[in-house]
Structure 1
Amino acid sequence: MSASPDAHAHRCLSRRTAIGGAACLGIGAPLLVACGSGDSGSGSASGGSSEAPAAGTAIAATADIPVGGGVIFPDENVVVTQPTEGEFKAFNAECTHQGCQVTEVTETIDCACHGSAFSLTDGAPTAGPAQDPLAEVEISVSGDEITVV
């Protein structure tokens, strides 16, 4: 004796609902965790990591930034570059494509999430899906110290 078509449809719907719900939990929970700032001690109401460090914050020594490269400061969400000797630039380290933090500085500022790359000089996108430049962060260089203005 076989089940009626209505009973079978109900069973499939329930199975689909259960599987769909489990898939949402399996995918959604890690995404929600990934969206967290990871910065529980900042006291920031927004919770986002896209904020620049407070003005007057020294973030690096000039000797720490390689000529033709740069360094990412994840806690400050800033990347500092030195495109040519003695010329320092700073940008928000959040990729303009989907908000991942940039991951490496080579000849460009690179985001491993989707392959975007940005210019060391002006933060303009040079590769990948990002269409907008990285936001410039104003800095000052005094002696051998780089400070956010």
Structure 2
Amino acid sequence: MAETTGIAGAPTRRAMVAGVGAAGLAAALAACGDSNDSAGAYSPAAPPQSGAATGGGQGGGDGAAQALAKTSDIPVGGGTVFADKKVVVCQPTAGQFKAFSAICTHQGCAVKDVANGTINCPCHGSKFNVADGSVAAGPATQPLPAANVTVQGDSITLA
């Protein structure tokens, strides 16, 4: 077995290099995911709640809700990415609002924009449908998870 301590019990140079190398390898492996590994591709600190608002919902009343936008701010057939909240809110048809995670299920990049009926990831070109978050174009194979929003009056709130 290799010696791990040197003078006065201090770690040897070899032990330090091995430890730093192992930590770096672990960090690199954690940051990377296989493009076919849907379990590891999307793992935010707090995953969005399932479900999406279709208008007329009520807020939770516990003070945890966060106002995102006015309904008039979300274009019909399009949507808006709220990067700071890691959510994208879409209005597939007039008065119908849907929300999804803004984290691409392929490699965990943040989606960039919504155009021509799709939510678009700039990293590898994945596209997701604004109506249901399903994959419109790969390489992603899993849909964007739904996020929980409510619409009350003209206000859209993240629950």
Same fold (TM over 0.5): yes
Matched length = 108
In structure 2, what is the Cα distance between the partners aligned to 1:134 and 1:104?
14
* CA-CA distance at 1:108 after TM superposition: 0.3
Structure 2: runs of 5+ lacking an equivalent: 1-23, 32-43, 50-62
TM-score, with normalisation over the residues of structure 1? 0.65
| Residue 77 to residue 50, structure 1, CA distance change in 2 (3 Å) | farther
User: Aligned pair in 2 of structure 1 residues 50, 105: CA closer, same or farther (>3 Å)?
Assistant: farther
Q: Flag as ranges the 4+ runs of structure 1 deviating above 3 A.
A: 48-55
Q: Which amino acid aligns with 2:94?
A: E
Structure 2 residue aligned with 1:99, among 94, 98, 108?
108
Greater RCO, CA 8 A, separation 6+? 2
Q: Which whole-Å deviations, capped at 9, do the CAs of 1:8-45 have from their partners, x for residues lacking one?
A: xxxxxxxxxxxxxxxxxxxx9xx97xx6xxxxxxxxxx
| Inter-partner Cα distance in structure 2 for 1:108 and 1:119 | 5
- Which amino acid is the alignment partner of residue 93 of structure 2? T
CA pair 49-93 structure 1, distance change in 2 beyond 3 A: farther
Matched, 1:85 2:94: yes
Taking the aligned partners of 2:114 and 2:134, their CA distance within structure 1 comes to 14
Q: Using the alignment, how far apart are the partners of 2:134 and 2:142 within structure 1?
A: 7
Query: Quick one: distance in 2 between partners of 1:145 and 1:114?
Result: 33
Corresponding residue of 1:40: none
Larger C-alpha radius of gyration, 1 or 2? 1
Structure 1 residues 120 and 131, CA gap change in structure 2 (3 angstroms): same
Give RMSD over aligned pairs: 2.5
CA contact (8 A) 1:49 1:77 kept: no
TM-score by length of 2: 0.61
How far, CA to CA, are the matches of 1:55 and 1:76 in structure 2?
13
Question: In the TM superposition, what whole-angstrom CA distance separates every residue of 1:44-75 from its partner, at most 9, and x where no partner exists?
Answer: xxxx5665499411111101100000000000
Percentage of identical aligned residues: 52
Mapping of residues 1-149 of structure 1, within 5 Å: 48=44, 51-52=47-48, 55-106=64-115, 107-149=117-159
